[in-house]
Chains A and B, each alone.
Chain A
Amino acid sequence: MLEIIQEYWLLLLIGEYPHGKLGGLAMTLIISFVSLIVTFPCAVLIALARTGKPGIIQTIANGFVHSVRAIPLLMLIFWAYFALPMIIGFPIDAVFTLIVAIVIYQTAYLGEIIAAGIVGLPKGQREAAAALGLGYIPTTFKVILPQAIFNVIPGIVNQLTTIIKESSLGSIIAVSELSYVMLQVNSNEVTKPLQIFGILAAVYFVLCFSLSQATNWLERRISARRTGQVIVEAVA
C-alpha cells in the first residue's frame, strides 16, 4: 500500500499538472467549489420563486425542482456530455459539462435548503420590513436573505460534501478528477485493486468526514445564536 502512495502521491494530488492536464484531488476540489459557487445564486432564485407568490414563476420553479429530483445525476451527465454538444453545435470540455450537470442537479437541492431557511423565519420579519416602508427588493436582499442564508449555512456546507461525492461521476466521462486518476493507476498496476480503491476511499473519507464534522460544529454554534445563548469558549 505504501509503495502505491510513494509512487503515485503527486498524480493523486494534482494529476500530471506541470507536464499535462491538471487532475487528481486538486481537480476534484476545483470542480466542487466552482459548482457550489455557480449553484448558489441559481439556488437562491429558485428558493425565492418557490416561497414567493403563487403564479407562473412558482409553477415553473416547482416543476423544475420536481423534475430534477426525479432524474439520476448520471442521466443528466449523459445529457450534458453527449446531447448538449449536438444541440449547441460545437464540442465542449468534459469538465465544463460535469460542472453544468452538477449545477443543474444541485440547484434543485440547494434551492430546497435555502427555501427552508426562508420559510423558517418568523413572519414578523417581513411585516416589520413592510412597516418600515421597504419594497420587495430591499426586504428580500437586506432583511430576509441575510438571515435565512445564515441559518442554513450548515446545510450549504453539507451540500458541498454531497457535491464532492457527486464529482466522482466525472470518471465516467473521462474528467481527470480523483476517481479517474485512480482508475488509471488501477489499470497500470492491475494486481492491487483493493489497496488502490482503499486509498481512494480513504482520501474521500478524510475530506468529507472533516467537512461533516465542521457542519456539526457550525450547526451547534448557529442554533445557539438563534436561541440567544452566548457562547463562551471553554478556556482550560
Chain B
Amino acid sequence: MGYQFDFGRVLQGEYLQLILEGLQATMVVFVFSWIIGLVLAVALTVVRAIEFKPTQFLVAAFVEYHRNVPMLIQLFVWYFGFAVILPDSVNDYLNDVGAEIGYAIVALALNKAAYMSEDFRSGLRSIHPAQMEAARSIGLTYLGAMCWVILPQAWRLALPALLGQTLILFKGTSLAAAIGVAELSYQARYIEEQSFRIFEAYGIATAIYMIISFAIMWLSSILSKRYELRVK
C-alpha cells in the first residue's frame, strides 16, 4: 500500500491544538448535558408520579418523542428549527457567541432527561407497594417514606441503567459535529481534510473516545457493585 504512518505530524503544533480544543468541546457538551439532563429527569419523574392525567400525558409525550426520533434529527430541530422562532437580533447575538454548542447541549440534555426519567421510573416501580404501606403504617409521612424508605432503594436499582445512559451520552456528543460544533469528531474530520493523514487523524480521535469510554465503563462497574441493592 505504501502508506507511511506519521503520528508525529498530527500530534504536534496546530493539529495537536485542534485535537485538544475538540476534546475540550466534547467534554463541555458531555458534562453540561449530563448535569442538566439528570436534574430534568428527576423533575420529570416527580411530575409523572403525581396523579394528574394532563401533566402525566405531557411527560409521556415528551419521553416518547425523545425515544422514537433519532438523536440527530432532535439536534436538527433545535439547530435549524428553533432558530427561526427567535427574533433576528437574538439570532445575531447567538451566532456571535457560538450558538451551536448551546443547541447541542440543550438537545442532548433533553434527550437524556427523557431516557433517565424512564430509568428512575422503572427503579421506583420495582419497589414493592407494600414497602410504602409498611412505612406509612409505622407513622412516616408520604414524604418521609419516600425519603427514607423508597428512594434509597430506588436509586440503587436505577443506577446501572443511568450509568449506561452516561456512556451513550458521551458517545452521542459526536453527533454535535453534524451541526458544526468543533468537537473531537469534527476536528478529526478537519485534520484529515487538511493533512490527508486519514489513519492518524481518525486513529487518535478513536483512541481518545475509547480511553474515556473505558474509564466510564470501569467506573460504572465499580459504582454498580458498590451500590448494589443486596436485599430485595
Looking at the complex, which one of B68, B199, B206 makes contact with A71 (CB distance below 8 Å)?
A: B206
By beta carbon, the residue of chain B nearest A208 is B68
Q: Mark B155-189, 1 if CB is under 8 A from A, else 0.
A: 00000000000010001111101100000010011
Is B76's beta carbon under 8 Å from chain A? yes
* Residue pair A197, B73 in contact (C-beta under 8 Å): yes
Chain A contact residue count (CB 8 A cutoff): 41
Chain A binding surface, main DSSP class: helix
How many of B's residues come within 8 Å of A, CB to CB?
42
* Smallest Cβ-Cβ distance to A186: which chain B residue: B80
**One of A6-14, A46-54, A76-84 at the interface:** A76-84
Q: Which residues of B contact A74 (CB under 8 A)?
A: 174-175, 177, 185
Once A70-B213, A201-B69 are accepted as A-B contacts, the answer to whether A75 and B77 lie under 8 Å apart by CB is no
B185 touching A205 by the CB < 8 A rule? no
Q: Which residues of A contact B69 (CB under 8 A)?
A: 165, 201, 204-205, 208
Q: Which of A161, A191, A197 has the most CB of B within 10 A?
A: A197
Residue from the list A71, A72, A166, A205 in contact with B65, Cβ < 8 A? A205
Q: Does the CB pair B177–A198 fall under 8 Å?
A: no
- Using known A-B contacts A86-B3, A179-B73, A186-B80, determine if residue A75 contacts B68 with beta carbons closer than 8 Å: no
Question: Known contacts A71-B171, A72-B174, A209-B64: does B81 contact A198 (CB below 8 Å)?
Answer: yes
Q: A204-B68, A209-B64 are in contact. Are A75 and B206 (CB under 8 A)?
A: yes
Task: Please classify the interface of chain B as helix (H, G, I), strand (E, B), loop, or mixed, using the class held by over half of its residues.
Answer: helix
Distance (Å) between the CB of A15 and the closest chain B CB? Answer: 18
Determine the chain B residues whose CB is within 8 A of the CB of A83 once the complex forms: 198-199, 202
Distance in angstroms between the alpha carbons of A172 and B178 in the assembled complex: 7
| Chain B residues packing against A (C-beta within 8 Å) | 1, 3, 64-65, 67-74, 76-77, 80-85, 167, 171-175, 177-178, 185, 188-189, 192, 198-199, 202, 205-206, 209-210, 213-214, 217
Q: List 10 A-B contacts (CB under 8 A).
A: A69-B213, A74-B175, A75-B174, A75-B205, A82-B202, A172-B72, A183-B76, A194-B84, A200-B76, A204-B70
Closest 9 pairs between A and B when the two form their complex, measured CB to CB: A70-B213, A72-B174, A193-B80, A194-B81, A208-B68, A168-B70, A165-B70, A72-B171, A74-B174
Apart from the given pairs A79-B206, A165-B70, 5 other A-B contacts in the complex at a CB distance below 8 Å: A71-B209, A165-B69, A194-B82, A194-B85, A197-B77
- Give A contacts to B, CB under 8 Å: 66-67, 69-75, 78-79, 82-83, 86-87, 89, 161, 164-166, 168-169, 171-172, 179, 183, 186, 191-194, 196-198, 200-201, 204-205, 208-209, 212
